[in-house]
Structure 1
Amino acid sequence: MFFKKTLSAIALAVFALAATVASSPVSSVPSASEKPALFGRYNDFKCKPSSSKPNPIILLHGLGGNPGEFSYMGPRFALKGYCAFSLNYGRLPGTDHIPGISFLGGLNDLMVSAKELSDFVDKVLAVTGASKVDLVGHSEGSTLPRVYLKYFAGRAKVDHFTAIGSNQYGTTLANIVTILETANLFGATKGVFNPACKACYQLTVGAPFLNELNEGGDTYPEVKYLMLVSKYDELVTPYTNGFLRTLGPNVHNVELQQLCQRDLSEHLAQSTDPIAFNAIEYFLRTNSVTEDGCWAYFL
Structure 2
Amino acid sequence: MRKPALVACLAVAVLALLSWAPAGAAGTSTFRSTSHPVLFVHGYNGSAANWDTMASRFRNDDWPASHLRQWQYDSQQANATTAQELAAEVDRLLAATGASKVDVVTHSMGGLSSRHYAKYLDGSARIDTWVSLAGPNHGTDTANTCFDASCYDMRIGSDFLTALNSGDETPGSPRYATWWSPCDTFINPDSSVSLDGATNRQTACIGHSAFLTDATVYAQVRDTINH
C-alpha displacement at 1:269, in angstroms? 1.3
Equivalent positions of 1:268-287 (< 5 A) are 268-286=209-227
Aligned-residue offset at 1:266 = 1.0
| Residue equivalent to 1:60 | 41
Q: Does 1:204 align with 2:155?
A: yes
Shift of residue 272, structure 1, vs aligned partner: 0.9
Amino acid at match of 2:93: V
- Which letter does structure 2 place at the counterpart of 1:88? Q
Residues 47-70 of structure 1 deviation map (CA, whole Å, 9 limit, x = unaligned) = xx85142x1000000101101110
Instruction: Report 1:93-172 matches (<5 A).
Output: 106-172=75-141
Counterpart in the other structure of 2:185: 234
Residue by residue, what CA displacement relative to the aligned partner does 1:200-242 show, whole Å, maximum 9, x if unpaired? 1100111111001111121124110110000101011011110
Q: How much identity, in percent, do the aligned residues show?
A: 29
Partner deviation per Cα, 1:80-118 (whole Å, 9 max, x = no partner): 2331101111x2xxxxxxxxxxxxxx1111111011110
Aligned residue-pair number: 194
1:64, 1:148 → 2: CA distance? Answer: 20
Q: Distance in 2 between matches of 1:284 and 1:145?
A: 16
Pairing partner for 1:51 from 33, 45, 57? 33
Secondary structure of residue in 1 paired with 2:141: coil
Q: Which amino acid aligns with 2:202?
A: E
**RMSD of Structure 2 on Structure 1 (CA):** 1.6
Partner amino acid, structure 2, of 1:170: G
Secondary structure, counterpart of 2:44 in structure 1: coil
Give 1:198 deviation, angstroms. Answer: 1.1
Q: 1-side partners of 2:175 and 2:97: how far apart?
A: 21
Deviation of the 1:79 alpha carbon: 2.4
Structure 2 vs 1, CA of residues 255 and 148 (structure 1 numbering), >3 Å: closer, same or farther?
Answer: same
Long gaps (5+) in structure 1: 1-48, 92-105, 178-188, 257-262, 287-299
Of residues 199, 206, 216, the one that matches 1:252 is: 199
* Separation in 2, partners of 1:275, 1:224: 20
Separation (CA, whole Å) in 2 of partners of 1:85 and 1:160: 15
Per-residue deviation at 1:78? 2.3
Q: Does 1:81 align with 2:24?
A: no
Matched, 1:69 2:10: no
TM-score normalized with structure 2 length:
0.81
Verify the 8 A CA contact 2:124 2:172 in the aligned structure 1.
no
Which one of the candidate residues 202, 218, 229 is aligned to 2:169? Answer: 218
| Whole-angstrom distance in 1 between the partners of 2:33 and 2:80 | 33
Runs of 4+ in 1 over 2 A off after TM superposition: none
